[in-house]
Amino acid sequence: MKKITFLAILMASYITNSQIILSEDFETTTIDQGFVNGWTVESEDGTVGEWVVNNPSTETPAYGGNTGIVSTSQGNCTNNYAVVDSDGYGSAGSQDTSLISPVFDLSNFSNIVLSLNQYHRVYQSSIAYIDSSVNNGESWENIVTYDADVAGNTIIDISSLAGNSEVQIRFKYVGSYEYWWAVDDIIIQQPEGSAPDVCTNMSPANEATDVEIVLSNNDLKMIYFSWDAATTGDPATSYNWYFGTTADDVSNLVSNFDGTVENSGITWGDTADTGWQTNTTYYWKVASINPAGSTESSVYSFTTGSTNPLGIEDISVDTFSVSPNPVKDIITINSSTGFDTIKVFNQLGQLIIKSNSKLMDGGRLDLSSLNPGMYLMQIRSDNKSKTVKIIKE
């Protein structure tokens, strides 16, 4: 199955209204000291590498883990966290390693949730298990299994463990030269109150048409989504946003996306042919979450407009023209409305020239250093861009 990666712009903050039973954020230890406060690691024989304490200062894991794990739009872990860096341990071995909590007493509780921030990134086949024991670790039962990418704040109902006095939670990772699994801000709590009511005033409105695809600050295709928090019931502490291409399968998830914040957008796609597409109908819903539970909205649909902000157009496009083309050295961008930035990419998609209108004399850009061949020039104005093909002689 093809994976779809989204980025949520502007995230929620977290509050809790609950009785805390166990809390661990790994801030009372260091990388060298390892796990404290009764947390332990057990690994199967032959395991190469295991759970460790890490933070951004190590610049690991690779492939975006050093930033993604602590990014509020992805793992949302804070400073110190626990991680299995399967990729960092290399191809010489595999991991079957468990991070195990201290024993805690649930004999006087009835409604219990486990919350954590996490980032499990899969390369091919790693599996992350959250298990429980009610007999001081003698045996384990699975609570949830992740065999695909998952990131962000996660809340899991573990009320089935209520009434037991020797409870433990473990985070068991199995993989071989995969990516990673990081966990942080682990809380066992009995929430007070009730799940939030459904959010209101969702936008785009149901069955909206001509919804605009714009360009984000990172040159990714983006659509704005918004809603209002419910004015009745207990407040939501976070939101999950779900998306699909059919009404029967609205399951692609962006955790902790807060549409109550102004100018919140979902970015998807960095070329004309990827991500959000023009004249296409999509389906979405919102889950309002607090420690007591979650409540989902109805499924809404919308259809995008006809303008692709990363589309390749003819040389003359509405408000600007590019000449000469083919070009030997100096190319001129003529625009009646002005432009912000110019980027030139080679046929491998590599950025080789970047400039802006303030640095260019009369819209003139020197391409004399380029080898002969075809290039793509992206001209950006406000939150839209057009890309034209240019030939360097």
pLDDT tens digits for range 76-86: 999 999 999 99
| pLDDT value, residue 387 | 78
Q: Which residue has the higher pLDDT, 152 or 106?
A: 106
167 and 25 in a single domain? The answer is yes
Q: Yes or no: say if 291 and 17 are a contact pair by the CB < 8 Å rule.
A: yes
Query: Number of folded domains in the chain?
Result: 3
5 vs 49: CA distance, rounded Å: 28
Beta bridge partners of 118: 152, 183
CA atoms within 13 A on the CB side of 114: 24
Domain membership flag for residue 206: yes
Same-domain pairing of 36 and 115: yes
**pLDDT in the model for residue 7:** 42
For residue 361, pLDDT over 80 is answered with no
| Domain assignment of residue 309, yes or no | no
pLDDT digits 0-9 by tens, 145-203: 999 999 888 989 999 999 999 999 999 999 999 999 999 999 999 988 888 999 999 99
Question: Mean pLDDT, the chain, as a whole number?
Answer: 88
Residue 383 has pLDDT above 70, yes or no: no
In a domain, 7, yes or no: no
Partners of 4 in beta bridges? none
Give me the pLDDT at residue 374, please: 84
pLDDT given for residue 17 in this prediction: 54
Q: Which pLDDT tens digit goes with each residue over 32-66?
A: 999 999 999 999 999 999 999 999 999 999 988 99
* Mean pLDDT (whole number) for 111-140: 96
Residue 123: which CATH number? 2.60.120.200
74 and 164 belong to one structural domain: yes
339 plus 357 within the same structural domain: yes
| Residue 352 is assigned to a structural domain of this protein | yes
Do 145 and 250 belong to one domain?
A: no
Quick one: 339 and 292 in the same domain?
no
Flag whether pLDDT at 31 surpasses 90: yes
Query: Is 109 in the same domain as 28?
Result: yes
Domain residues for the domain of 265 are 200-304
- 319 pLDDT tier (thresholds 50, 70, 90): low
Task: Pick the most confident of 18-22, 212-216, 382-386.
Answer: 18-22
Name residues whose C-beta falls within 8 Å of residue 49's C-beta, 6 or more positions apart in sequence.
Answer: 84, 85, 86, 88, 89, 93, 95, 97
Q: Is the pLDDT of residue 355 over 90?
A: no
What pLDDT is recorded for position 1? 27
Least confident of 200-209, 258-267, 295-304: 258-267
- How many angstroms separate the CA atoms of 287 and 239, rounded? 6
Angle at 271 (CA atoms; ends 247, 362), nearest 5 degrees: 135
- Asked whether residue 310 is domain-assigned, the answer is no
- pLDDT of residue 71 exceeding 60, the answer is yes
Instruction: Pick the last residue of a domain from 304, 334, 357.
Output: 304
Instruction: Kindly indicate the confidence band of residue 12, based on its pLDDT and cuts at 50, 70 and 90.
Output: very low
Percent over 90 (pLDDT), the chain: 59
Alpha carbon distance 367, 349 (integer Å) = 17
311 belongs to a structural domain: no
Query: What is the pLDDT, as a whole number, of residue 388?
Result: 82
Residue that wins the pLDDT comparison between 231 and 120: 120
Q: With helix as H, strand as E and coil as C, how does the chain read?
A: CCCCCCEECCECCCCCCEEEEEEECCCCCCCCCCCCCCCEEEECCCCCCCCEEECHHHCCCCCCHHHHCCCCCCCCCCCCEEEEEHHHHCCCCCEEEEEECCCECCCCCCCCEEEEEEEEECCCCCEEEEEEECCCCCCCEEEEEECCCEEEEEEEECHHHCCCCCEEEEEEEEECCCCEEEEEEEEEEEECCCCCCCCEEEECCCCEEEECCEECCCCCEEEECEEECCCCCCCCCEEEEEEECECCECCEEECCECCCCCCCEEECCCCCCCCCCCCCEEEEEEEEEECCEEEECCCEEEEECCCCCCCECCCCECCEEEECCCECCEEEEEECCCCCEEEEECCCCCEEEEEECCCCHHHEEECCCCCCEEEEEEEEECCEEEEEEEEEC
Whether 312 has a pLDDT exceeding 80, the answer reads: no
> To 10 degrees, the CA torsion angle through 344, 347, 350, 356?
10
Q: Which residue has the higher pLDDT, 10 or 72?
A: 72
pLDDT at 11 over 50: no
Quick one: 109 and 164 in the same domain?
Answer: yes
pLDDT, residue 357, reads 74
Give pLDDT, residue 4. Answer: 41
- Residues 53 and 167 placed together within one structural domain of the fold: yes
Task: Assess contact for 245 and 282: CB atoms under 8 A.
Answer: yes
Check whether 259 has a pLDDT greater than 70.
yes
Judged against a pLDDT cut of 60, whether residue 6 lies above it is answered with no
From residue 355, alpha-carbon distances to 112, 318, 351 in Å are 55, 21, 11
Does 32 reside within a domain? yes
Give mean pLDDT, residues 198-226. Answer: 91
- Say which range, 19-23, 84-88, 304-308, has the weakest mean pLDDT: 304-308
**Distance from C-alpha of 319 to C-alpha of 328, rounded to nearest angstrom:** 24
Paired tokens of 92: 């010489």
Q: Specify whether 56 is located in the same domain as 185.
A: yes
Q: What is the pLDDT of residue 382?
A: 67
Q: Which of 118-127, 188-197, 213-222 has the lowest mean pLDDT?
A: 213-222
Final residue belonging to a domain, choices 191, 217, 249: 191
pLDDT value at residue 271: 78
CATH number for position 268: 2.60.40.10
* Residue 5: band (very low, low, confident or very high) from pLDDT cuts 50, 70, 90: very low
What are the residues whose beta carbons fall under 8 Å from the beta carbon of 16, sequence distance 6 or more?
115, 187, 189, 191, 237, 291
- Based on the fold, state whether residues 26 and 174 are members of the same structural domain: yes
Question: Is there a single domain that holds both residue 99 and residue 152?
Answer: yes
Give the end of a domain, one of 166, 191, 216.
191
Is residue 78 situated within a structural domain?
yes
